[in-house]
Chains A and B, each alone.
Chain A
Amino acid sequence: MKQKTSIETSSALTDSAPVISAVDDKNTFATLSASLAEIRKLKGVIGYILRSETLAIVDLTEQDKIIDYAILSSQISESSLEMTKQFNLSNIESVLVEGKNAKVLCMSVGENKIGVFMEKTATHGWIIQRILL
């Protein structure tokens, strides 16, 4: 079952964040959401999570796994960042976690965090290219 959720929160960033950068972020978010909507149609892609500091889009086939997958993608983003620090890896492009049942591709574009969930047979290389465009 396909479910699409859009959450928009009006957080109190007005003092610290410049308006221009917030607009830029929103533009990037919109571009990414359009790209992910395309990616979502690819064979083997079971869903995605896109979140910025103020917005989030969740589109997952399995509704009951939304929370699990949200926590997983968040954990991957945080821990992989820590791991790369130790090896002085900079400018991370992507993090791919392959499990026995599925795989997750996590990427960061500016302040936006992306998690694409797919079957193991799906090709993730093209997805990375498409998001980095």
Chain B
Amino acid sequence: MTEAQTNPLQIILNEFKTLSPETTNTLIFNSDGQTIANTKIQSEEETKKLISDFCSIAEQAQKIGGIENLIIQAVDNQLTVTAMDNLYLTMVSSRAASQEIIKSLNLVVIPTIVKLINQRANLPVETQSSPAIDLKEKPEEIATPPVIEEPIIEPIPEAEKPEKAFENILPFVPVNQLMVEKIVGLLVPADTVRIDSEVMAKWSDLYGGKQILMVNIEALDGKKTTCKVKPIKESKNNVKGAIQIPERILENLQTEKGKLVMVKPVVE
């Protein structure tokens, strides 16, 4: 662990006195006997002696699966050593101290911080190690790609031209959840639904101004249909987030007014 990584532990240890004034001493050391953080009341020699004594117990405690917790209770004070992966938190506190606070510091706060530090520490280690291996093992291969990349850069614009047609299909297809309204009337086409014009405009913008003519509608029970779509002409507030569906399509979807359907544009 680097100093920067241990700092959060030191900061937390320094706060222990505030959180639990009855805590007189705290120390975190690793399984190699190295001090990671402490409240600096003890001398280095004393700390080493403490770790050495603890290690003597830990060695024998392998017979019970290694130490998870060590609690020494004196009449007025107690010393606890809690294992957290490869780290050990030692805390000396008065027995009058709130055991709930002591436990939450020992068993929740510090172990959580240690886990977070370990998670953060693991990420850069992985990313740092992989290029190092690549550089050592395949120096020539790494040197060649930039050379190859240069001629590739030129044909890319040419290659992009035919791909543009796919770009319109490939982007993320938005799915909107809209509320069903029944639309009736003699002039209402039975194969066309009407959708809030704002939603239609957003879809159109997303696909580079392309007009959306068809939509996929899926009822909550999984029934699906594809039909023509037009924007709702009315600019009333109540059409926001609504889809007006003619009776025949409603029957196909087996849904009704007031229910929700998932709607996504069909772009060809």
Contact = CB atoms under 8 A, between A and B. Distances in A.
B49 interface: yes
Contact of A91 (B54, B57, B59, B74): B74
Given A87-B79, A89-B92, A101 B70 contact: no
Contacts, number: 102
A79 B57 CA distance: 7
A24 interface: no
Please report whether the interface of chain A is mostly helix, strand, loop or mixed according to DSSP: mixed
Interface in B132-188: none
Interface residues of B, number: 31
Contacts of B72: 80, 83-84, 89, 92, 94-95
Contacts of B50: 83, 86
A53 B74 CA distance: 23
A126 B75 CA distance: 16
Contact of B61 (A72, A86, A90, A128): A72
A84 B79 contact: yes
Interface residues of A, number: 33
A87 B75 contact: no
Nearest to A69: B63
B49 A95 contact: no
Contact of B71 (A69, A96, A101): A96
A95 B66 contact: no
A104 B49 CA distance: 23
A100 B68 contact: yes
A92 B74 contact: yes
B67 interface: yes
Nearest to B82: A98
A110 B72 CA distance: 17
Nearest to A89: B74
B25 interface: yes
A94 to B, nearest CB: 5
A100 B49 contact: no
A65 B74 contact: no
A21 B98 CA distance: 40
A16 B14 CA distance: 50
Contact of A68 (B63, B67, B75): B63
A40 interface: no
Given A68-B63, A75-B60, A86-B49, A96 B92 contact: no
B74 A97 contact: no
B77 A99 contact: no
A83 B75 contact: no
Interface in A98-121: 98-104, 117
B45 to A, nearest CB: 10
Given A91-B74, A97-B69, A82 B64 contact: no
Interface in B45-89: 46, 49-50, 53-54, 56-57, 59-61, 63-79
Given A99-B64, A100-B66, A102-B65, A76 B79 contact: no
A93 interface: yes
B75 A91 contact: yes
27 contacts: A65-B63, A69-B63, A72-B64, A75-B59, A75-B60, A80-B53, A80-B72, A83-B72, A86-B42, A86-B46, A86-B49, A86-B50, A87-B77, A89-B74, A90-B74, A91-B74, A91-B75, A92-B72, A92-B73, A94-B73, A96-B70, A98-B71, A99-B68, A100-B64, A101-B65, A102-B64, A104-B64
Interface of A: 65, 68-69, 71-72, 75-76, 78-80, 82-84, 86-87, 89-104, 117, 128
Given A72-B63, A96-B73, A97-B57, 5 more contacts: A65-B63, A87-B92, A89-B72, A91-B75, A104-B61
